[in-house]
């Protein structure tokens, strides 16, 4: 039995229903992840450009666009277990350039920015309340990294009651293997993994 058949037999990989009130969450396209002068970063120009197509269109259609960043107070750095495992993340200090949203994303002054301390954009943040208050029923998740904060956000989005779509060409990672493996797993269990063209056509149709 092939891998695809195993998952299908187990009941995974079913299509996600799409509602009529989408929202977009752009995860951690901050300079600490996008500007390769920093060791925590990778080249994400293509993924940022693909994401910007969707966010520019979303604003024109009055669709909520939310950005996230990871930022730590210096006093937190030595106490958080995640930073003992992922020590490079300790450089993401409040007020530094590393935690600013990359201007290439096209972020606008009216776009909410969620500051988080962990991988998921939902954990310990008001994101779920913000999306619910805006009436969002289907969440598009883009950003970085695919295997880390994007995946964690997708899992928590489903557990928070949202249908989730992930445009693969709007997600970036430091290495190809974890990127592809996590896209596959998300598509089987938590979201529809698609592309920016598909999401764009859907947004235009609404």
Catalytic residues: 149
Q: Quote the DSSP letter at residue 125.
A: S
Read out DSSP for 97-121?
GGGSBPGGG---TTS-EEEESSS-S
Helix 151-159 crosses helix 176-189 at what angle (to 10 degrees)? 10
Read out DSSP for 51-107?
HHHHHHHHHHTT-EEEEEEE-B-GGGTTT-HHHHHSGGGGG-BTTSGGGSBPGGG--
In what helix (H) or strand (E) does residue 163 lie, and over which residues does it extend? strand 163-167
Q: Quote the DSSP letter at residue 2.
A: -
Closest CA to 28 of 114, 109, 155: 114
């Amino acid at each position: 039995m092939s891998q695809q058949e195993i998952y299908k037999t187990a009941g995974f990989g079913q299509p996600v229903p799409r509602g009529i009130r989408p929202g977009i969450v752009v995860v951690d396209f901050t300079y600490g992840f996008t500007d390769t002068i920093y060791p925590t970063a990778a080249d994400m120009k293509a993924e940022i450009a693909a994401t910007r197509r969707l966010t520019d269109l979303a604003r024109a259609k009055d669709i909520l666009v939310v950005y996230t960043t990871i930022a730590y107070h210096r006093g937190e750095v030595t106490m958080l277990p995640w930073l003992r495992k992922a020590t490079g993340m300790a450089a993401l200090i409040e007020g530094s350039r590393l935690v600013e949203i990359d201007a290439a994303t096209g972020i606008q002054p009216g776009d909410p920015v969620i500051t988080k301390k962990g991988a998921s954009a939902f954990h310990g943040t008001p994101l779920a309340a913000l999306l619910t208050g805006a009436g969002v029923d289907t969440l598009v998740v883009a950003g970085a990294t695919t295997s880390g904060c994007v995946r964690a956000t997708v899992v928590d989005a489903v557990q928070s009651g949202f249908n989730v779509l992930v445009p693969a060409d709007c997600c970036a990672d430091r290495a190809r293997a974890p990127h592809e493996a996590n896209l596959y797993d998300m598509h089987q269990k938590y979201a529809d993994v698609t592309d920016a063209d598909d999401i764009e056509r859907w947004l235009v149709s609404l």
